[in-house]
Amino acid sequence: MNSTKSLTAIFNRFPLECNLSLKSIRCNILPPLLSVWLVVCNVSIADNFFMDKQYIRKVGKRIKFLREEKGLSQEELACDANVSRSTISMIETAQNDITLSKIKRIATALGLEPYELLKF
């Protein structure tokens, strides 16, 4: 019980530093149980926990509109952009956040500049 309170206090005090110094924290300062907890915590943060669903939905709708306007299927766009068809589907339905590199590849495949995907 006491170690749980300590763990919570440490994480609440330094939530943004976990990612940057995990290796040094694990080796020098914190007990092994705590470093395992921090790894799990980092996974949940990286798993689109804080993504802006409304904005992602707008981007997905814009990509779908432009894809359909060009007469491309999800499979054809995926092939041209060098991503999987399921990635295109998840982006268009706002199930997945999109990286800048994928924005660039999708824009190029559609014959557009990346900023044009974000004009809505």
Is 27 found in the same domain as 59?
no
Is 113 found in the same domain as 96?
yes
Is 41 found in the same domain as 25?
yes
Is 63 found in the same domain as 22?
no
Is 106 found in the same domain as 73?
yes
Is 100 found in the same domain as 62?
yes
Rg of the Cα atoms in the chain = 20
Kindly provide the b/e burial profile for residues 62-92, where b requires at least 16 CB atoms within 10 angstroms of the residue's own CB.
Answer: bbbebbeeeebebeebbebbebeeebbbebb
**Sequence-separated (6 or more) residues with CB below 8 Å from residue 17:** none
DSSP-assigned states of every residue in 9-22: HHHHHSTTTTTTTH
| Number of separate domains in the chain | 2
Specify the amino acid at residue 30: L
For residue 78 the two structure tokens come to 């995926």
- Kindly list the distances between the CA atom of residue 112 and the CA atoms of 12, 22, 56, 58, in Å, as whole numbers in the listed order: 43, 40, 19, 17
Q: What is the pLDDT of residue 31?
A: 52
Rounded Cα gap, residues 35 and 41, in angstroms: 10
Q: What is the pTM (predicted TM-score) of this model? A: 0.59
Instruction: Find the mean pLDDT for residues 39-52.
Output: 50
Q: What is the pLDDT of residue 96?
A: 86
Instruction: Find the mean pLDDT for residues 83-93.
Output: 94
Is 28 found in the same domain as 6?
yes
Is 37 found in the same domain as 62?
no
Instruction: Find the mean pLDDT for residues 20-42.
Output: 45
Higher pLDDT, 31 or 51: 51
Is 57 found in the same domain as 39?
no
The residue range of the domain holding 110 is 53-118
**Three-state DSSP class for residue 115:** helix
Q: What is the pLDDT of residue 53?
A: 86
**Residue 99 belongs to a domain with what CATH number?**
1.10.260.40
- pLDDT tens digit sequence for 46-70: 445 566 888 999 999 999 999 999 9
Q: What is the pLDDT of residue 120?
A: 81
Q: Is the pLDDT of residue 41 over 70?
A: no
